[in-house]
Amino acid sequence: MPQYLSLIPPCIQMISAFSIFLIFIPWTFIHACIPTQQIETTTYPYIAPTTITVLTTTTTTTTTTVTPDCVSCTVGLLTFTTANFGDMTPIQTPGTDANNCAILTLTCQGTPVDPLNNVYLIYYSDSKVPRDAGADSGTGSIQTVLTCVNGVWDKGGYEINEVECQVL
């Protein structure tokens, strides 16, 4: 048996072959091989790898200037009636008002201008029934201003599509 003792750890070699057969093997083994002194151990919790995701947000500020549709009106939106007695085509002078909106100054007068003539500017609207949208009158020469509002010519809150200049 001595040849086998070299393969056995030293703590077990101290135990005699006789004590192996005894009932007290666990007690002998525990007291002979395991130290009785408390060993303090420190455990470290598993630290999982951390992934840090950096999100980059690009903010673009767009400034949109909304121009009211008060600049798109042209003289071509109007029809000038000239089929009746005394009808004349009014003088048209385009311009802009203080808000930079389009305006159209219409001047109705005879040729030559006679201060005794009765002069009428009559306005018609396709969006009104009846179509009469008002009139201005005077003697010799009269003027009126149409304003561009939402892409149409406006006078007194009515969309104006047709103008008649009459000199009598």
What is the tens place of the pLDDT at every residue in 61-109? 777 665 669 999 999 999 999 999 999 999 999 999 999 999 999 999 9
119 or 61, greater pLDDT: 119
Q: Which domains does the chain have, with CATH numbers?
A: 7-33 (no CATH), 75-167 (2.60.40)
- pLDDT at 152 > cutoff 60: yes
Alpha-carbon torsion 33, 35, 36, 38, what sign? negative
Q: What residue has token string 């306005």? A: 123
Per the CB < 8 A criterion, the answer to whether 29 and 8 are in contact is no
What is the tens place of the pLDDT at every residue in 34-43? 555 565 655 5
Statement: the pTM of the whole predicted model exceeds 0.75: no
- In whole angstroms, how large is the CA radius of gyration of the chain? 54
